């Protein structure tokens, strides 16, 4: 719920920046060329704040994990953080335009909220081993997380957008509404946390998914080559996907002159179409190489941005944004399920007991570069380059991710055999590296992989 409300809050920050630059009364076909305090454009300020928040989140994750490890009662620590997050959201719900210091204050609050949300995620991940260590348990927890987050995301956007459009609220007033709603949601979450997790302790020290930079480094160094490249692909693809979501509100507001309510409806379509997108992933991955389906997904992302940069040209074409958001939502749901399923199947059975640490490295990998595409987008915008051309910069990250999958990770069956063979060697299993797999064995391994992929997707979709 809070992540969805931050989309409106970002637009509220843009509204404050426009007011501060004297651009609050521009017509729909006009763009603000004034600078905020003579420093940068309002749109550049809003995207720069997002880039800083994303960078701060990715950098702080290992340190926050180490902080959690120092507290034996992580549940109580999480309860305090949730209360603090509710307090920050309450402060952000008072967003308004009064003076220059007001803008700086609400930018500071947004940074604090991002860090607190990251800490909350780390604490939640620390309980994974407390609820189960089997692969099916991990799938079930992921499925439950999706079932809770997507409906809350949809309901928050739907309620806020309907209120904004029916009442004719501006961007700042819509941000107030969204943050007020998030406060109520956080208080409900706080009560649930207090009842079920406040006295719960982490199973053992180091069970946190991300506990320190040293743990991340040691885990990465212990991984085989295929998994390392897979995480590298996730870093570039994750950065692009996160940045698309983070900058889309600014693009729709500035280039298409859409209101916060209209933007909310576009993001609602994004969330709704993520559900059939996950179904697409399940169908395709059960019929062909799942790494091939991931590559197809990435190339579809690449193809859509040149089309969007041509079509989305001004307010007259804003309705097409709904079509693109629906298609991007489908690609997002497809990628999320496909990507996570492949990752879990690539983890050797010998590592399942410590898969939480591997998952922690995965979370770190998809966030570590999340700020970079947004920062590039900001720099181009500040250099008076059309935002539509800025969209094309995301393609570079998708293309790099595609090339890594295509040429460095390769075929799924071969990658999985390589991972398990490498891990068996590390476990001192007496098996010669020179042994060749007979053609009959190749077919059986591929059939086994297809069955495993179908089972993993089935668990996630349940």
Tokens 């603090």 -> residue:
84
Radius of gyration in angstroms for the set of CA atoms belonging to the chain, rounded to a whole number: 23
| Model confidence, pTM | 0.78
Exposure letters 107-141 (e unless 16+ CB within 10 A, then b): bebbebbbbbbbbbbbbbbbbbbbeebebeebbbb
Domain residues for the domain of 189 are 2-461
Tokens 């393609």 -> residue:
395
CATH (domain of 298): 1.20.1250.20
Phi, psi of 201 (to 5 degrees): -110, 155
Extended strands (E) in 4-130: none
Q: How many domains, in total, are found in the chain?
A: 1
**CA–CA dist 42, 21 (Å, integer):** 7
**CA–CA dist 133, 236 (Å, integer):** 29
User: Token pair for residue 434?
Assistant: 């020179």
Each residue's pLDDT tens digit in the chain (462 positions)?
Answer: 666 778 788 888 888 888 888 877 666 556 677 888 888 888 888 889 889 888 888 887 777 766 666 666 767 777 888 888 889 888 888 888 765 677 888 888 888 888 888 777 767 666 655 555 554 555 455 556 656 677 777 888 888 888 888 888 888 888 888 888 888 888 887 777 677 665 655 544 444 444 556 667 777 777 778 888 999 999 999 999 999 988 888 899 888 988 888 898 898 899 889 888 888 887 887 788 888 999 999 999 999 999 999 999 888 899 999 999 999 999 998 998 888 778 877 776 555 444 456 666 777 788 889 999 999 999 998 888 888 899 999 999 999 999 999 988 867 666 666 655 555 555 444 344 434 434 434 344 344 444 444 444 443 344
Inter-residue contact 428 to 246 (CB < 8 Å): no
């Amino acid at each position: 719920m809070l992540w969805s409300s931050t989309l409106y809050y970002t637009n509220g920050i843009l509204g404050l920046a426009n007011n501060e630059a004297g651009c609050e009364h521009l017509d729909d076909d006009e763009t603000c060329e004034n600078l905020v305090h003579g420093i940068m454009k309002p749109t550049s300020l809003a995207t720069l704040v997002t880039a800083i928040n994303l960078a701060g989140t990715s950098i702080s994750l290992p340190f926050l994990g180490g902080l959690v490890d120092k507290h034996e009662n992580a549940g109580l620590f999480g309860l305090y953080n949730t209360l603090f997050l509710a307090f920050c959201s309450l402060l952000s719900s008072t967003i308004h335009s009064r003076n220059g210091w007001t803008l700086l204050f609400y930018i500071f609050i947004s940074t604090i909220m991002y860090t607190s949300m990251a800490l909350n995620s780390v604490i939640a991940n620390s309980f994974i081993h407390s609820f189960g260590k089997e692969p099916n348990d991990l799938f079930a927890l992921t499925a439950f997380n999706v079932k809770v987050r997507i409906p809350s995301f949809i309901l928050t956007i739907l309620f806020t957008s309907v209120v904004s459009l029916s009442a004719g609220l501006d961007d700042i007033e819509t941000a107030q509404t969204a943050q007020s709603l998030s406060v109520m949601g956080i208080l409900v979450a706080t009560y649930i946390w207090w009842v079920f997790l406040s006295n719960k302790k982490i199973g053992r020290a180091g069970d946190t998914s991300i506990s320190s930079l040293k743990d991340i480094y040691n885990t990465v160094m212990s991984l085989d080559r295929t998994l390392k490249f897979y995480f590298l692909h996730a870093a570039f693809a994750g950065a692009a996907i996160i940045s698309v979501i983070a900058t889309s509100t600014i693009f729709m507001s500035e280039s298409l002159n859409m209101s916060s309510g209209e933007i909310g409806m576009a993001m609602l379509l994004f969330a709704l179409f993520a559900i059939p997108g996950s179904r697409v992933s399940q169908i395709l991955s059960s019929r062909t190489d799942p790494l091939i389906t991931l590559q197809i997904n990435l190339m579809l992302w690449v193809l859509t941005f040149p089309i969007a940069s041509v079509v989305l040209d001004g307010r007259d074409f804003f309705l097409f944004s709904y079509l693109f958001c629906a298609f991007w939502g489908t690609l997002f749901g497809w990628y999320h399920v496909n990507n996570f399923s492949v990752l879990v199947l690539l983890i050797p059975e010998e590592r399942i007991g410590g898969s939480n640490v591997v998952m922690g490295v995965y979370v770190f990998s998809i966030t570590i570069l999340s700020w970079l595409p947004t920062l590039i987008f900001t720099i181009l915008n500040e250099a008076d380059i059309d935002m539509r051309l800025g969209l094309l910069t995301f393609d570079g990250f998708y293309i790099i991710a595609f090339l890594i999958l295509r040429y460095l990770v390769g075929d799924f069956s071969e990658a999985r055999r390589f991972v398990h063979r490498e891990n068996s060697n590390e476990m001192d299993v007496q098996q010669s590296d020179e042994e060749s797999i007979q053609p009959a064995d190749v077919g059986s391994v591929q059939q086994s992989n297809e069955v495993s992929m179908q089972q993993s997707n089935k668990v996630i979709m349940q």
